[in-house]
Copies of this chain bind each other. A is one copy, B any other.
């Protein structure tokens, strides 16, 4: 009776929104089933997007034609480029958003997409005929037919909230937990596990003493996330503030340890090592007598403050007393205590690199349900699952990003091959090719791919083509242009930089420390003329390419090697057990993961280079 869909996305979080938007934009008819239309794209924890390695992911989503970058730009209240003083591989954009506006913008985005329908209710069952997906059933018993399903349930599956010794069922504070789906999936043969994460108390900014804290303003010339010109940079920003815990704070917190669900074993799930609670921090780093706290506003006008760095599930009275020992928090009033939440996840080694499950065709998992943490990680998976769900039912090629192409490639490759024992978040250290995977060049890396898919617009494509041409011209021109001693040295002296002893080519000049493209152009004004009208970003990009030429080349070579391994395809259903030359451990692991390329096989944890060689020889033989 109800309409039939190409793709049903369950869950309107960051993963679900990107999945629905991508599949629908590509032309699939999509139904987004979510518990509450008013919490679509709700930021469960702090209202910020990006940060180290995560900012790169947002740029990648944007370049491919996803919406997280645009939505962030439209809702941000502060923008900072982190790690500017380090190499460009580390530069990471981060924005503080207005929580309400962020959700509103996503909702508007989905409503503007005529292929997206929405149904507000809890999905409780995937309807199957034999081993084929035919629909989704809701708590009311409504059945919607579909060809494929993307599950993005976030922290909601059998969610259990802990504060001190109290426990409540719930998917987030004040919201219902999702029931039924885990049990059904386990019944179908899926392995499920339990993880946990936490959130800090929210505090009334009107009760804080800002004078005692250190102001952290946004960048003076803020950038933005999206490469598209549909958004603009901020002209007004809101500041965050920095303060610290102290031994006095820690002492109060410790009085709650015996009533803590983390320490008395009441929480079973695995927590994020890299985003620990404050009680974890003072426990694990007992030697440190203070930890940094960021006080971050939740929006343009609200006095609600997010206390970043103070995630906790201690009893609320302990939270309150400890908060008030923090510098500037002497009279702090809480709006609500922090809490921890435990939820079901599905070890992601059960997925193909398209995020389709190996067990059930046309069923995709994306986001926190795969054991990740973070909006950016979730959103990027949603995007990939949405694209692949669409491509598969339309009989198009699978869309897979290589580790050398994108952090998103690293993320998914890590998940499906290594799985994860704790909530997985992205770090630059997870990427072998991080000098290639920069925030500044995601458009150059990925827009073409997004455009070929039909997701990135013609405008975006044209803009990247133009930028590429300009970069090439700049690089070529610098190689051919000389910098003369008598022109350059006065400029270098002014800046107390090492003078030239003889004339050099501009592409060498720019490699010198503290020399940038602007100084180079000043040192030979003919360049200024040559690059007249060029985009600022193209000039910057050329500078990076030249300054880091050696690193980039090295990584590119490495990446090509990997691509060779990657091009060794392993046939689906390949019987790894039959290769007796492999160690029995490797045989088992390969059988479980079922890698589809030699590259993928090489990244399975425990698989040795020797195993890979054996496999390669075997595959070569078969080919003959």
Chain A contact residues, CB within 8 Å of chain B: 1-3, 35-39, 100, 104, 107-108, 111, 114, 117-121, 139-142, 163-164, 166, 168, 173-176, 202, 204, 206, 301-304, 316-317, 320-321, 333-337
Partner of A336, one of B121, B163, B202, B303: B121
Within the complex, which residue of B114, B174, B301, B321 is in contact with A120, where a contact is CB–CB below 8 Å?
Answer: B174
CB–CB B320/A2 < 8 A: yes
Pairwise interchain contact A335-B37, C-beta atoms closer than 8 A: yes
Write the nearest CB–CB distance from A455 to chain B, whole angstroms. 21
Are A1 and B320 in contact (CB-based, < 8 A)?
yes
> What CA separation (Å) do A477 and B37 show in the bound complex?
58
B176 near A316 (CB under 8 angstroms)?
A: no
In the A-B complex, list the 5 residue pairs whose CB atoms are closest, starting with the nearest: A120-B336, A36-B174, A111-B303, A118-B335, A120-B335
Number of copies: 2
Assess the B118–A3 pair: CB atoms within 8 A. no
A202 to chain B, nearest CB (A): 8
Quick check: B117 and A333 within 8 Å, CB to CB?
yes
Are A336 and B114 also in contact (CB < 8 A) when A1-B321, A140-B163 are?
Answer: no
Q: Which residues of B contact A37 (CB under 8 A)?
A: 304, 335-336
Residue of B38, B142, B164 near A316 (CB, 8 A) is: B142
Bound: A108/B139 CA distance, A: 35
Q: A1-B320, A118-B335, A140-B166 are in contact. List 15 more A-B contacts (CB 8 A).
A: A1-B321, A3-B333, A37-B304, A37-B336, A38-B174, A108-B301, A111-B302, A117-B333, A119-B335, A121-B336, A140-B163, A140-B316, A140-B337, A142-B316, A142-B317
In Å, the complex CA distance between A104 and B38 comes to: 13
- Report B-chain residues with C-beta under 8 Å of the C-beta of A302: 107-108, 111
Q: Please list 9 pairs of residues, one from A and one from B, whose beta carbons are closer than 8 Å in the complex, sorted by A's number.
A: A38-B38, A38-B39, A111-B301, A120-B202, A120-B336, A139-B166, A140-B166, A140-B337, A141-B166
Q: Which residues of B contact A140 (CB under 8 A)?
A: 163-164, 166, 316, 337
Across the interface, name the chain B residue whose C-beta is closest to A301: B108
Cβ contacts under 8 Å, A3 to chain B:
333
Q: Distance (Å) between the CB of A40 and the closest chain B CB?
A: 11
How long is the Cα–Cα vector from A584 to B301 in the complex, in angstroms? 61
Interfacial chain B residues near A334, Cβ < 8 Å: 119
Cβ-closest chain B residue relative to A108 = B301
> In angstroms, how far is the closest chain B Cβ from the Cβ of A45?
14
Contacts of A166 in B (CB 8 A): 139-141
Residue of B nearest to A142 (CB): B316
Q: CA–CA, A243 to B329, complex, Å? A: 57
Q: Contacts of A117 on B, CB cut-off 8 Å?
A: 204, 333
Give the residue name and chain of the B residue nearest to A31 (CB): B333
> Nearest chain-B residue to A121 (Cβ)?
B336
Known: A118-B204, A120-B335. A317 touches B111 (CB 8 A): no
A176 and B169 CA atoms in complex are apart in Å by: 11
- Is there contact, CB below 8 Å, between B301 and A119? no
Contacts of A35 in B (CB 8 A): 174
With A1-B321, A111-B302 in contact, is A336–B174 under 8 Å at CB? Answer: no
Closest to A2 in B: B320
Q: Which residues of B contact A317 (CB under 8 A)?
A: 1, 142
Residue of B nearest to A315 (CB): B140
Which interface residue of A111, A175, A320 has the most chain B CB atoms within 10 A?
A111
Query: In the complex, what distance in Å separates the CA atom of A100 from the CA atom of B98?
Result: 14
Chain B residues within 8 Å of A301, by CB: 108, 111
Chain B residues, CB < 8 A from A173: 36, 120
CA distance in complex: A337, B37 (Å): 13
Q: Which residues of B contact A39 (CB under 8 A)?
A: 38
Closest partner residue, chain B, to A339 (CB atom) = B140
| A100–B299 alpha-carbon span in the complex (Å) | 15
Query: Cβ of A163: which chain B residues have Cβ within 8 Å of it?
Result: 140
- Distance in angstroms between the alpha carbons of A304 and B110 in the assembled complex: 12
CA distance A100 to B142 in the complex (A): 28
Shortest distance between the CB of A323 and any CB in chain B (Å): 12
CA of A317 to CA of B119 in the docked complex: distance in angstroms? 13
Contact B104–A100 (Cβ < 8 Å): yes
- How far, in Å, is A101 (CB) from chain B's closest CB? 10
Within the complex, the shortest CB–CB distance from A17 to chain B, in Å, comes to: 16
Bound-state CA distance A202–B117 (Å) is 13
Question: In the assembly, what is the distance between CA of A466 and CA of B162, in Å?
Answer: 59
Q: Which residues of B contact A168 (CB under 8 A)?
A: 139
Residue of B nearest to A166 (CB): B140
A114: B residues at CB distance < 8 A = 206
Query: Is the Cβ of A336 less than 8 Å from the Cβ of B119?
Result: yes
The distance from the CB of A238 to the nearest CB of chain B, in whole angstroms, is 15
CB neighbours of A119 from chain B (8 A): 334-336
Name the CB-closest residue of B to A298.
Answer: B37
Distance in Å: Cβ of A277 to nearest Cβ of chain B: 18
Smallest beta-carbon distance A326→chain B, Å: 17
